[in-house]
Each structure stands twice: as C-alpha cells, then as structure tokens.
Structure 1
Amino acid sequence: MGSGYVRIIGKWQQPWKIKNSTPSSFPSVHQLRNIRNSEISRPINLPSSHSLSSSSSRSSKIGFLGWYLGMLETSPLITKSVTSSLIFAAADLTSQKIMLPPSGSFDPIRTLRMTGYGLFILGPSQHLWFNFVAKVLPKRDVITTLKKIIMGQAIFGPCINSVFFSVNAALQGESGDEIVARLKRDLLPTQLNGLLYWPICDFVTFRFVPVHLQPLMNSSCSYLWTIYLTYMASLKKEGRGECGG
C-alpha cells in the first residue's frame, strides 16, 4: 500500500481514522498474552481406562447384536437355521450330560443328528411358519395372540413333532413299522406335555416379539423343551419294550 496508511489487524486504515475505532474491537497485547497463557495451561481431559473399556465393551455388544440383526435382514433363512442348529446341539449335549450313566460316554452321532435337524428342518420350518402366521393374523392383540397359540398347538406342533420323531428314528435305522409304533407311543404324550409349556412361550412370542425375531425366541424356548425331546427320541424301539438314554 502507499504511504499514509498503516495495517491494523489484517486491514489497512488511514492513521487519522484509528482514533475513531472502538477500543474494545482490538484486544491489547496484555489481553492476547492472557488468552494464550490460559489456552496453554488448560488441562487436557483424556478418557480414563475404565471409560475406554466400558465404551469398548458396549461397542462389542452393540456390534454383535447389530451384526446378528443385519444377518436376519439379509439372510433370514440361513441365520435362523444356523441359530436353531446351535441351540439343538447345546440342548442335546445338556440332555446327554444329565442322563449319562457314570460309565457312559457322549454320543457325538446323536448330537450331529440333532444339529442337522435344527439346521435343515426346524430352522426353515420356523421361518415359514411364523411368517405365515403373521400374514394370516397380522394383529398382536390378546385375542389374535390366543388364535395364534391355538394354531400352533393344533397344526405346527403335531406336524413338527411327527417329523422330529420320524427323522430321528429313520436315522437310527428303524423301519417304517417301527417309526409308526414310535409315533403311537411318543407323539401324544409329547403333545400333552407340550400343552403345559408352549402356550406360555407362544403367548410371549406372538404378543411381544417382532416377527423377524420370533424364531429366535422360539428356539430359545426350545432349549429346555429339546432336552425333553432328545430324551424321547433316544428311547429304544417300541418293539423292544426298553427305555434308556
């Protein structure tokens, strides 16, 4: 700039106009020094190790839950089937541990049968059944929930239990007549015992759980029920008149 101007905080002004500027608009050197010292002396608040670990734990939980829910959205059939197979495997291992005699040993083939049933039969069946029920009876009030429970006990329960006993008996090498005899012996008692357990589980499932999570809830309830089912499925053939683990 030419002569007759001075630079005041980034702007060129004529010297005779400086005295007309508001003094408060320009911090003094002393004020600038105080501001700089306060910024330097201000402590830096770093997160503690406890807060970091808590945050990391929450992130991992949210991450796993988010991943699982995402899998239910992108691959619902596979996710529900794998979940069902894992629950059936855990239930069978628990059943064997409870009923295993002192000199006995675990039967891995039996656990493999239960795992395959959960993966290839129960998981896909749950997926189709709960979607069908939600489409036929979309409401979630008490009356509609009771209708869903009745449908489950009258249709889904007998069908899936019949398939369960038949498949496991066939995989154990039983003939058609032996499978029919097993169904006559085990199916009705299983259904009657189920009336003491499943209506409560189904009421909670249909009334409060979203449709895409209902198979997970059903499989979780199946953990205790499967311990009983695996015991029933492991009974000896009807023609032998024997019972054992």
Structure 2
Amino acid sequence: MSGALFRNVAADTARLIRRNAAAEIKQLQSRPDFRAPQLLGRAKETGISLPSSPSGLCSSAKVGFVGWYLGMVKSRPVITKSVTSSIIYIAADLSSQIISKKSSESYDMLRTARMGGYGLLVLGPTLHYWFNFMSRLFPKQDLITTFKKMAMGQTIYGPIMTVVFFSLNATLQGESGSDIVARLKRDVIPAMFNGVMYWPICDFITFRFFPVHLQPLVSNSFSYLWTIYMTYKPAVISAETPLYLLSYLAHCHSM
C-alpha cells in the first residue's frame, strides 16, 4: 500500500517537474537573448525531447513520407525527381492501358518499361535543370514573368523534348532513320496542337504558385491526368496510341 502510494507521489512529482520545465523553455524561446544550447541542456536534464536544429524549435517537425520526400528533393534533387518522374509515367502508362485495352488483350510491359526508363534517364533530369534554369533566368513569380516562362517552354523545351521522345521511342522499337523522320513529320505538329488548351493552364499554375523544387512533381502530376483524359478521347485512340498518346501528353507542353 505504502509502496504504491510512494510510486504515485513520485510519478506526480515527475510530471510536475516536466510541466514546469516546459513552461520555462517556452519563456526562454520568447526572450531576445534566447540560446539554443541553454535550452537543449535544460531539455536533457528534464527528459524533454527537442529538435536538433534551432530552426526546428520554432516550427513543428515534418514527419512521415511527405517530410522525407521534401528532404530528399532538397538533398538529392536530380535522382529524387528522376525516380518520381519514372514512377508517375509507369503509373500513367498502366492506367491508360487499363482504360483502353480490351479484356482479351495483355499488358504491354515493354512499352511501360520504355516510359519508366524515359522518365528516369531523360525527362526527370532535364525537368530539374530546365525549371532551375527558368528560375535563375526569371527569378520572380509575378504574372508577366510567369508568361515569359510559359513562352520559353512552348517555343524551346516542349518542341525539343517532343522530338527527342518520338525519336528515342522509335529507335527502341527498331525503326530506321527514314521511318523516324516520317514519324516526326506526321506526328510532331499534331502532338503540339493537341495539348494547346490544357498545358498552358497547367504551366501557369506550376510556375505561378509552386516553388522551383516542386515544379517537376506538379508538372508530372498534370501529365498523369492528361494521360487519363486522352485515353478517353476516341479520336486519339488508334494503332499509334502506345507511342503517339504518351508523347504529347507530357512532352509537348511548356516546362
């Protein structure tokens, strides 16, 4: 009986000490001469866990997958954005196949692998460098600057990446040089026009409202939605869909 009473008194005393220590720490944070080492020393004495960096003391710590991902985007930007792009394009290709294929048809995993490889090795890295280049060239995010970035993408990056995508995919499918040229002449211009009502809006949102380190993720997310939309569009679904659809859905818009 006395032992239980002693334990209860000890527990209550410990809680009271921690509560008083936490209140003292808050007072220290509000003082102009606040010092992080002093706060950390008091925290260790009272058993209160605190963030390791001073900046973390004034804001809630980011936890979970989102916090981990944001940390990776900043610490390893190229590989993180490349893997993200690859995953999104794999998901987009599989989704388009699920929607468009007949029940008797099997999945074209080679096509999916091509899309994933393109996102990992080509699109992801170039998106990173393009968006950073645009941010350095036009550092502001006002309305006029946003339209300048959109124009640069529509006239430079978008057309180049569309040609690269068509050419690379055709090469991987074993087409000859003359076949690739014929495909470019036939498909590039229509591909550019098909996204003209969608991608400028997406690019405006991306450039205007998101920081540069998240712009590739936002752009790729819009690409996924565009894939689903174009899969439902009967005029686009044809024998050329595996290459033609997935070319302009993500690469002919401004970046």
Q: Secondary structure at the match of 2:103?
A: coil
Indicate if the aligned counterparts of 1:89 and 1:111 stay in contact, CA closer than 8 A: yes
In 2: Cα distance, 1:222 partner to 1:95 partner: 12
**CA 1:110–1:80 in 2, change beyond 3 Å: closer, same or farther?**
same
**CA 1:233–1:117 in 2, change beyond 3 Å: closer, same or farther?**
farther
Deviation at 1:225, TM superposition (A): 3.1
In 2: Cα distance, 1:213 partner to 1:135 partner: 15
Which structure would you say has the larger Rg? 1
Per the alignment, residue 122 of structure 2 pairs with 121
Deviation at 1:87, TM superposition (A): 0.4
In 1: Cα distance, 2:243 partner to 2:109 partner: 16
If the length of structure 1 is used for normalisation, what is the TM-score? 0.69
In 1: Cα distance, 2:216 partner to 2:99 partner: 26
Per the alignment, residue 30 of structure 1 pairs with none
Number of residue-to-residue matches in the alignment: 186
RMSD between aligned alpha carbons? 2.8
Q: Which runs of 5+ in 2 are unaligned?
A: 1-5, 16-59, 245-255
- The amino acid across from 2:92 in the alignment is A
In 2: Cα distance, 1:159 partner to 1:169 partner: 16
Fraction of identical pairs, as percent: 60
In 2: Cα distance, 1:79 partner to 1:119 partner: 9
Indicate if the aligned counterparts of 2:169 and 2:243 stay in contact, CA closer than 8 A: no
Q: Secondary structure at the match of 1:234?
A: helix
Per the alignment, residue 242 of structure 2 pairs with 234
1:208 matched to 2:216? The reply is no
- The amino acid across from 1:77 in the alignment is V
Per the alignment, residue 159 of structure 2 pairs with 158
Structure 1 segment 5-84 matched on structure 2, within 5 A: 62-84=63-85
Deviation at 1:159, TM superposition (A): 0.8
Per the alignment, residue 15 of structure 1 pairs with none
Structure 1 segment 69-148 matched on structure 2, within 5 A: 69-148=70-149
Per the alignment, residue 194 of structure 1 pairs with 195
Per the alignment, residue 28 of structure 1 pairs with none
- The amino acid across from 2:134 in the alignment is V
In 1: Cα distance, 2:76 partner to 2:9 partner: 53
- The amino acid across from 1:221 in the alignment is F
Indicate if the aligned counterparts of 2:206 and 2:219 stay in contact, CA closer than 8 A: yes
1:139-164 Cα deviation digits (max 9, x unpaired) = 11001101111111111111111111
Per the alignment, residue 26 of structure 1 pairs with none
Indicate if the aligned counterparts of 2:166 and 2:243 stay in contact, CA closer than 8 A: no
- The amino acid across from 1:208 in the alignment is F
In 1: Cα distance, 2:9 partner to 2:121 partner: 65
In 2: Cα distance, 1:233 partner to 1:157 partner: 20
Deviation at 1:226, TM superposition (A): 4.3
Q: Which runs of 5+ in 1 are unaligned?
A: 1-35, 46-58, 237-245
**CA 1:99–1:203 in 2, change beyond 3 Å: closer, same or farther?**
same
1:103-162 Cα deviation digits (max 9, x unpaired) = 210011110000000000000110010000001011110011011111111111111111
- The amino acid across from 2:242 in the alignment is S
Per the alignment, residue 51 of structure 1 pairs with none
If the length of structure 2 is used for normalisation, what is the TM-score? 0.66
Deviation at 1:73, TM superposition (A): 1.3
Indicate if the aligned counterparts of 1:140 and 1:207 stay in contact, CA closer than 8 A: yes
1:175-213 Cα deviation digits (max 9, x unpaired) = 111111111111111111121111111111100100011
In 1: Cα distance, 2:183 partner to 2:219 partner: 25
